[in-house]
Structure 1
Amino acid sequence: MLLHTDRLGLRRFTAADAPAFSAYRSDPAIARYQSWDAPFPLEAATERIRTYNDDPGQPGWFQYAVELTADGSLIGDVGFHLHDNLLQGDVGFTLAPGRHGRGYATEAVRAVLHHRFAGGLHRVSAECDARNTRSRRLLERVGFQLEGQRPAFTFADGEWSDQCLYGLLADQWKRLPH
């Protein structure tokens, strides 16, 4: 495990994760606010896992597989993009259907933020579809501040949607209760 909480382990993806990864990313309700289309075939999941950055300390996207420590089941992922300057990053997250409303995504995102800010990061950013109220609430719950909104920024499924921009500075993170 790269990171762990009381209930979760965050680790590198493996080829064995492809079926579960494909399944939760194939749910239309999950894919609606994301950058991929449903269904997300097993072949696409296998290829995506193969291309993930293997070193979370190197610039680029690193995808943490989120599993339940109780049974080892894959329940989602947290993506973290480390900028070339090694001082800034972007975070994103996906949780499998049926796992929402239990605090798992909040717990996983907090674990990643804690680790990254402890490693010297200055700032983390996040973006989400303005209609995705659950993601917006999660970002605000872990301390992100809404910094702006891009009107009619994303065109998907035949409609335009606004994009919300969030940010969190290391100094703000340090002042939050954990």
Structure 2
Amino acid sequence: MMMGPSPTGWRPLVFAANRRYSIDFCKRAPHSRPMAHSENPFLNAGALSDGTVTLRPYRLDDADDLVATCADPAVLEWTQVPQHYTRDMALDWCANPPEPSWVITSPTAEHPGRYSGQIDVRVHTAHYVSLGYMSAPWARGRGLMTAAVRIVTDFAFARGAQRVEVCVHPDNTASRRVAEKAGFTLEGIRRNGEVLRGDVRDLAVYSAVPEEA
């Protein structure tokens, strides 16, 4: 499952032209970096886990798996990942990842600790965040992403968030199922909510609030 990563909406972003590019309302991929926010309550989270699925910091040896994931046709269809994502770009991302952003792993996988995807939090305000996520092709269908979304949502609520949002293309059924299984509520369709490689597209908007957790 994957959601086209790229949240912003609360302030402009500036990226180096050779390795970053603009993103929009509710999603992100391994290519964009938020501006520094000294009051960000979601920084320095470390590893998170529900006892089975673990979210850990990036390592340089994640780079090859990240490149393979970004080359997957399904990832390219739904996300802002560059069409020719290079190993140098992946190494840069792994060495200098945005915070908060985690690698998804599972101890039950064939290679415990291996990159199985990633999930990011985009901080719009201290009380409003959105999630971006994408799964590695070899890790789909195991419930890892749903567990990761629940873990990060609980983390966000514990850090004071009052709204966690997921936005996904209406036809991206896999990512929509993740949000729904994680307990998010469909609020509606944000018309013309993103531009992906020149194509203006709608977004299905899901949310979770602490009262319903």
TM bin (shorter chain): 0.7 to 0.9
**2:113 aligned residue:** 72
Q: Which amino acid aligns with 2:105?
A: E
Percentage of pairs with the same residue: 27
Q: Which amino acid aligns with 1:79?
A: D
Deviation for aligned residue 1:53: 2.9
- Stretch moving more, 161-170 or 143-152: 143-152
Structure 1 CA distance, aligned partners of 2:95 and 2:188? Answer: 34
**1:57 aligned residue:** none
More helix by share: 1
Structure 1 CA distance, aligned partners of 2:132 and 2:194? Answer: 16
Secondary structure of the 1:98 match is: helix
**2:16 aligned residue:** none
Deviation for aligned residue 1:125: 1.0
User: CA-to-partner distance for each residue in 1:37-59, whole Å, 9 max, x for gaps?
Assistant: 334211111122334235xxxxx
> What TM-score do you get using the length of structure 1 for normalisation?
0.82
**1:132 aligned residue:** 172
Secondary structure of the 1:89 match is: strand
Deviation for aligned residue 1:160: 4.5
Is 1:29 aligned with 2:74? yes
Q: Which amino acid aligns with 1:76?
A: G
1:131–1:161: 8 Å Cα contact kept in structure 2?
A: no
Q: Which amino acid aligns with 2:102?
A: Y
Q: Which amino acid aligns with 1:139?
A: A
**1:91 aligned residue:** 131
Is 1:103 aligned with 2:148? no
- Which structure 1 segments of 5+ residues have no match? 55-61, 174-178
More strand by share: 1
**1:19 aligned residue:** 64
Aligned-pair RMSD on alpha carbons?
A: 2.0
- Which structure 2 segments of 5+ residues have no match? 1-45
Deviation for aligned residue 1:120: 2.2
RCO higher in structure (CA 8 A, sep ≥6): 2
Structure 2 CA distance, aligned partners of 1:91 and 1:49? Answer: 19
Change (3 A) 1:119 1:158: closer
**1:59 aligned residue:** none
Structure 2 CA distance, aligned partners of 1:143 and 1:5? Answer: 16
Change (3 A) 1:113 1:153: closer
